[in-house]
Chain A
Amino acid sequence: MENLLLMMAPLFSSKLLLVLLFGTLFGLVLGVLPGLGPTTGGALILPFTMTLDPLSAIILLTSIYCAGTYGGAITAVLINTPGTPAAAATCLDGYPLAQKGEAGRALGMATVSSTVGGIFSVIVLVFFAPILANLAYEFGQPEYFALAIFGLTMLASIGDGSPIKNLIAGAFGILISTVGKDFMTSIDRFTYGINELSIGIGFIPVVVGLFAISEMLTQSTLLDQVFKRVALKAVKLPTKDDYKKTWKTILRSSGIGSFIGVLPAEGGTVASLIGYSEAKRFSKNPEEFGKGSVEGIAGAEAANNAATGGAMVPTLALGIPGSATTAVILTGLIIHGVRPGPDLFKEQPEFLYGIFGAMLVANILFFIFGFFGAKIFARITLVPNKILWPMIFAVSVCGTYSLSQSIIDVWIMLFFGVLGFFMRRYGFSVVPVIIGLILGELVEGTLRQSIVIFDGNWLMFLTRPIALTFFILSLIALAFPLIRSKKNKKII
């Protein structure tokens, strides 16, 4: 009961409500614009959150996350281009249905299923995050090391793209985290006499570079792309018949999305693809999929929004990000001096339940904005790239500079922008780099401290049951792509 009241806190504070409204609207705008999205948007706004108190800052980031994930569906339905990668599966049926003159029905189904999926996942978050946090009390340094390794191998196995390339990208992310003074001995590593590098490479320049600047370079190669827009009169609520057809799909996809979200990997994108394929598998009319099936839209959209709450579970309970956007949220927590983990649940329940409540309200808000304002948000896609991206560049540069007031950070951002472009061009996902960068200190720190505890005996890792379980799960995660590749021949 007390926790329920804490969850209501954002509703009774005008400041938090304002932050929520702004975050939801901003998230929708980001979600609608192809190439942007909650991860890039979150990274862009992160420096600005320094002017806010920690709760407002994290509420802002989480509301952007929830609304941005839904916003991708608007573009997916109307211009057949997913606003976010998580909305890719929505295109498959959303656009064909819109072409039949039923754009309003398609968006109505996307809005309702996203809201149900999002609310379902917040309930999962409220119940499971404290349980997982309690379990984390059993974790010592070796267990955290094994967990971080499990997180990275999961990313390789079910993340987007090739597993081996994902592992290389993850290892590269960890390598970036080793730049600067070694935290145990204060010895300089990879600094090459540059003083600014002795404090390490900041998270913001890397994230803004890898997401925003590399996307700007990608957009420079797509200038001849022409979007065909489908006209939208108004968003329509699903009919009784549509509800009858889709309620099981929505619930199933909500469960799938929440589960996939909890796993440390690329939450929404993977969740929506699995949600969509499961919707097709269980459907009485699988032949309608790809031709404008409302079940297809419901399956994909409920799953990708359900992944938002799911991905927050390991982020808050263990400090292990469940997706790229939660990696940005985790950074937000860290730069505001909040250390996620079991102690947070004990010491600052009002902070956590405030976030849970805000996510719940954000899901309701994007339903209202989506239902009444989708037509306006769809018009945002009319802003030409030749105007939009120079503006995003200006904000990226100032935002990156503002955090440490260092011009070196801006150059690092540009370097990672170019690097990110070529990584994506040759099939290396940039998400593992971010997760590796975040987990890097945890991986190295826990490994080295474990070796001290075990007096240099590496085999002692195998005597700890929880650590051993995570290592076995990591091996299974690594073997999974090999098994899968036998089916679809995709290892490289």
Chain B
Amino acid sequence: MNNVRDKKRANKSLPFFFRTEFKVFFIIVLVSSILLISTFSFDTVPPILNRGIQPATFPKGLLVLIIALTSIIYYLSFKKPWKKEKNLPRPFFLTILSFIIFIIISKTLDFFLAISVLSIFVSYNWGERRIFHLLLVSIIFPLAVFIFFEMILGLRFPPGIITNLYYY
């Protein structure tokens, strides 16, 4: 109980722009505002053809609602600060990095190579060291998935350096 109170206090003692509540409020309001501004560039229907409301009106209303509700939770957080979250561990960032690597490899080299690389990267960084298990997640399982989707479901995967060996 005391720990939770200490964490809350720690969060409250930070300058406002470092506090979680402000960061969340700022990001939501910023993104919503950008989207709201972009709705003004949507095409409009000429009044003679328009029945009901313009296509941009509904998303505009939603974005205003999101900004208003976010402002309310930020205001309420002055009375009741959020508890400070634990710092994210290294494997989390490595997993995010693996997603980026996945996107790059799947775009430039091969879809299945990307899955294999991500699998071995994640498994290794999450602590797996046994060779057979690493081979299982990076080669045997993706291969089984490929065979299942390709042969049973008849799906055609995007071309790439490995997939082309099968297709051509």
Identify the A interface with B (CB < 8 A).
Answer: 48, 51, 162, 164-165, 167-168, 171-172, 174-175, 178, 182, 184-185, 187-190, 192, 216-217, 220-221, 223, 384-387, 389-391, 393-395, 397-398, 401-402, 405, 407, 410-411, 414, 417-418, 425-427, 444, 447-449, 451-452, 456, 489, 491-492
Minimum-distance CB pairs A-B, first 10: A390-B119, A386-B126, A182-B55, A386-B128, A451-B52, A448-B52, A220-B95, A390-B137, A220-B91, A187-B55
Q: How far is the CB of A189 from chain B (nearest CB, A)?
A: 6
Chain A residues near B35 (CB-CB < 8 A) = 175, 190
Q: How far is the CB of B111 from chain A (nearest CB, A)?
A: 7
**Which of B24, B82, B106, B153 lies in contact with A48, CB distance below 8 A?**
B153
Task: List B49-99 residues whose CB lies under 8 Å from chain A.
Answer: 51-53, 55-56, 58-59, 62-63, 65-66, 69-70, 72-73, 76-77, 80, 82, 85-86, 88-89, 91-92, 94-96, 99
Q: From A168, which residue of chain B is reached at the shortest CB distance?
A: B69
Chain B residues near A417 (CB-CB < 8 A) = 99
Does B11 reach chain A (CB closer than 8 Å)? no
Q: From B138, which residue of chain A is reached at the shortest CB distance?
A: A390
Does B118 reach chain A (CB closer than 8 Å)? yes
CB <8 Å contact, A394 and B52: no
The answer for the CA separation of A331 and B164 in the assembled complex, in Å, is 34
CB <8 Å contact, B145 and A398: yes
Of the A-B pairs whose beta carbons lie under 8 Å apart in the complex, a sample of 18, sorted by A's number, is A164-B69, A168-B66, A171-B66, A175-B59, A175-B63, A178-B59, A182-B55, A185-B55, A220-B91, A220-B94, A221-B88, A223-B89, A385-B126, A390-B138, A402-B155, A414-B103, A447-B58, A448-B53
**Which of A385, A387, A411 lies in contact with B133, CB distance below 8 A?**
A387
17 further A-B contacts with Cβ under 8 Å, apart from A175-B59, A192-B38, are A171-B69, A178-B62, A185-B45, A187-B55, A189-B42, A220-B94, A221-B88, A221-B91, A389-B122, A390-B138, A391-B137, A394-B115, A405-B155, A407-B106, A426-B82, A491-B76, A492-B80
Chain B residues near A401 (CB-CB < 8 A) = 111, 155, 157
The answer for the CA separation of A77 and B133 in the assembled complex, in Å, is 29
Does B5 reach chain A (CB closer than 8 Å)? no
Chain B residues near A390 (CB-CB < 8 A) = 118-120, 122-123, 137-138, 141
Q: How far is the CB of B102 from chain A (nearest CB, A)?
A: 7
**Which of B62, B102, B152 lies in contact with A171, CB distance below 8 A?**
B62
CB <8 Å contact, B56 and A189: yes
Chain A residues near B149 (CB-CB < 8 A) = 398, 402
Q: Which of A167, A182, A411, A418 has the most CB of B within 10 A?
A: A182
Task: List B119-168 residues whose CB lies under 8 Å from chain A.
Answer: 119-120, 122-123, 126-128, 133, 136-138, 141-142, 145-146, 149, 152-153, 155-158
CB <8 Å contact, B52 and A452: yes
Q: How far is the CB of A115 from chain B (nearest CB, A)?
A: 33
Chain A residues near B28 (CB-CB < 8 A) = 168
Q: How far is the CB of B64 from chain A (nearest CB, A)?
A: 10
> What is the interface size of chain B, counting residues whose CB is below 8 A from a CB of the partner?
68
Q: How far is the CB of A307 from chain B (nearest CB, A)?
A: 28
Chain A residues near B24 (CB-CB < 8 A) = 426
Contacts A394-B145, A448-B58; is A217 near B52 (CB within 8 Å)? Answer: no
Contacts A185-B45, A411-B103; is A387 near B136 (CB within 8 Å)? Answer: yes
Contacts A390-B122, A390-B123, A407-B158; is A216 near B85 (CB within 8 Å)? Answer: no
Chain A residues near B102 (CB-CB < 8 A) = 414
Chain B residues near A405 (CB-CB < 8 A) = 155-156
Chain B residues near A426 (CB-CB < 8 A) = 20, 24, 82, 85
Contacts A190-B59, A386-B127, A492-B76; is A175 near B66 (CB within 8 Å)? Answer: yes
CB <8 Å contact, A387 and B123: yes
The answer for the CA separation of A359 and B33 in the assembled complex, in Å, is 46
Q: From A492, which residue of chain B is reached at the shortest CB distance?
A: B76
CB <8 Å contact, B66 and A393: no
Q: How far is the CB of B84 from chain A (nearest CB, A)?
A: 11
CB <8 Å contact, B92 and A164: no
Chain B residues near A491 (CB-CB < 8 A) = 76
Q: How far is the CB of A301 from chain B (nearest CB, A)?
A: 30
The answer for the CA separation of A162 and B70 in the assembled complex, in Å, is 12
CB <8 Å contact, A402 and B153: yes
CB <8 Å contact, A223 and B126: yes
Does B107 reach chain A (CB closer than 8 Å)? yes
Q: How far is the CB of B113 from chain A (nearest CB, A)?
A: 12
CB <8 Å contact, B99 and A418: yes
CB <8 Å contact, A164 and B153: no
Chain B residues near A397 (CB-CB < 8 A) = 115
The answer for the CA separation of A217 and B98 in the assembled complex, in Å, is 11
CB <8 Å contact, A164 and B73: yes
CB <8 Å contact, A451 and B126: no
CB <8 Å contact, A167 and B55: no
Q: How far is the CB of A95 from chain B (nearest CB, A)?
A: 22
Q: How far is the CB of B166 from chain A (nearest CB, A)?
A: 15
CB <8 Å contact, B43 and A220: no
Q: How far is the CB of B144 from chain A (nearest CB, A)?
A: 9
Contacts A220-B92, A386-B123; is A414 near B99 (CB within 8 Å)? Answer: yes
